[in-house]
């Protein structure tokens, strides 16, 4: 298995632009998590899905952030409009129902908003 796939690996954009981050979980996994990592705040859970349904989005910073999971093999995290304080590494992770704590993380997307 290729593991969790995230794209792009690096994204540089200007303030006010829309940013879309993509994630393909491991086939067969039914939970998907989006995290944000910064030096100041560490690793924060933004939202997680179970069986394609958003279960907890209380970590989403504000309305500029939205996430979707249209099917079991694809998810997006969108920021519109982006701001410099959104600069971070965004991770996607997936896990399987019987072992939810064994999350498989993707390599992350490093986002820089100028």
Interface with other proteins, residue 59, by CB under 8 A: yes
The contact pattern for other proteins, residues 78-107, with x = CB under 8 A and - = no contact, is -----------x-x-x-x----xxxxxxxx
Question: Considering the complex, what minimum distance in angstroms separates the CB of residue 23 from other proteins?
Answer: 13
Q: Which two tokens stand for residue 74?
A: 């694809």
> Which residues lie below 8 Å from residue 11, measured CB to CB, with a gap of 6+?
19, 21, 109, 110, 111, 112
What are the residues binding other proteins (CB under 8 A)? 3, 31, 33, 41-45, 48, 50, 55-56, 58-59, 89, 91, 93, 95, 100-108
């Amino acid at each position: 298995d290729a593991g969790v796939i995230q794209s792009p690996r690096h994204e540089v954009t200007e303030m006010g632009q829309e940013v879309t981050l993509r994630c393909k979980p491991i086939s067969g996994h039914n939970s998907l998590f989006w995290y944000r990592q910064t030096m100041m705040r560490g690793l924060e859970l933004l939202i997680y899905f179970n069986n394609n349904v958003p279960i907890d989005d209380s970590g989403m910073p504000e309305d500029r952030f939205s996430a979707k999971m249209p099917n079991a093999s694809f998810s997006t995290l969108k920021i519109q409009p982006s701001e410099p304080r959104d600069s971070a590494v965004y991770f996607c992770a997936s896990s399987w129902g019987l072992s939810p704590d064994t999350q498989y993380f993707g390599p992350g997307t490093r986002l820089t908003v100028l």
